[in-house]
Amino acid sequence: MPTKAKRWVLALRPEGKPKVENFRLEEIELPEIGEHEILIRTEHHSVDPGMRGRLSGDSYTSALPLGQTIDSAMVGVVEQSRNEKFKPGDRVTGGFGWVTHAISNGRGVQILPPEMYHGKLRPTAAIGVLGIPGLTSYFGLLDLGRPKEGDTVLISSAAGPVGATAGQIAKMKGCKVVGIAGSKEKCDYVKGLGFDACFSYRGADLKAAIREHCPEGVDIYFDNVGAEMLDAAILNMKEHGRIVVSGQVSEYNRADNELVGIRNVTRFITHRLRMEGLVVFDYFKQFREAQAEMAQWIHDGKLTYTEDVSDGIEGSAAAFIGLFEGENLGRRLIKVS
C-alpha cells in the first residue's frame, strides 16, 4: 500500500538570512517498496547550519536544486523491508533529509546497535555527538589541532554541538579551554561542561576579551564563526599556533562582496601560524573507530551532550532559521514521530 508522507523542499534560493518562504512543506505519496528496498519512518531529523551554503549555490558539494528535499541526517525505524540486511523494527540512521518517511535500497543506511545505544547514549546521538558535529570536533581537534597537555584552546560557538564536544575532548587532553558564546546562559552551560572559562561576544572588544582570558596566548583556536572573531583570535595566537576552521557561521548569510574574511595575515609570518579547514567526510574510513571511542567516553561519563529538540516536522524551517539567531543550545533536532 502506498505511504503518505511529508517533506520540506527548497522553494526559493535565499538571499541573506533564510526566511520561511524559501522552503515549502509538501505532502507526497510514496509507492510500495520494491525488491531489496526498505521503508523508514523518521523519528528525528537534524537541522544543520553548514547546509546554508548549498541553498544558495555550490559549497562543499553542489548546490541543492530547487524543489529538492532539504538535506539532513535522520534516525528512524524500518517499517517494511524487502532487503535481507534489514528487518522491521530496526532503528537506523541515514541522510534522507527533512522527511517523515523514506524509501531506500539500504545504501548509506546504518543499523544502530543496541549494545552501543543505551543508557546515557540515546539513538539521536548517532546524528549529533557521534554524527557529523561530534566527528568534526574529534578529527578537527585531534588531527588538525594536535593538542598537548598544557595548551590553551580557544573555541568559538562553544555552546553548539561542535564547540561543546571539542572543548570536552581538549580538557581530556589536559588543556586549558576557553569558550566564546552568545549569552551568560550559554557561558554557564559551557563552564558546566568543564571549560575553564567562557565569555559572551555580545558587546565585547573581542581582541581584549581573548587577551584577558588567555593572557599567555592561544595555542589552538577552534573556529566555528569566522570574520571579526577569527581576526581577533589571530592577534592572540602564540608562535606556532594552530587554527582549525570548522565553520564560518557569521559568513554564511553574506553575499560574496560582503564577506569579512581575514585581515591580520602578517601574523601568520611573524608567529609561524598554521590554519587549516576540514570536511569531516575525508575521515570516513576512521568514523567507526572514532565513534566507538566517543561512545565509551559517554558511557564512562567523560563526555556529555545536549540536544535541543522541537516537536513536529511542520517546524523544521523555523528551527533551521533559528540557528542563525543563536536560539539553540546543543544539537538542534526535530522530533518527527
User: Where are the chain's structural domains?
Assistant: 3-128+305-335, 147-281
Pick the CATH number of 3-128+305-335 from 3.30.110.70, 3.90.180.10, 3.40.350.10, 3.40.50.980: 3.90.180.10
Residue located via cell numbers 567526510: 281
The answer to whether residue 255 scores a pLDDT higher than 90 is no
Beta pairing partners, 81: 38
Mean pLDDT of 172-200: 98
Instruction: Kindly state the helix (H) or strand (E) to which residue 227 belongs, with its residue range.
Output: helix 227-234
pTM: predicted TM-score of the whole model, two decimal places: 0.92
The tens digit of pLDDT for each residue in 49-100 reads 988 989 988 776 789 999 999 999 999 999 999 999 999 999 999 999 999 9
From 205, 165, 199, select the one nearest 183 (Cα to Cα).
Answer: 199
| Distance between CA atoms of residues 228 and 104, nearest Å | 43
The answer to whether 219 and 273 have CB atoms below 8 angstroms apart is no
Q: Provide the pLDDT for residue 50.
A: 86
Which residue has cell 548517532?
A: 126
Q: Which amino acid is at 37?
A: E
Q: Say yes or no: domain 147-281 is CATH 3.30.1490.20.
A: no
Which three-class secondary structure state does DSSP give residue 186? helix
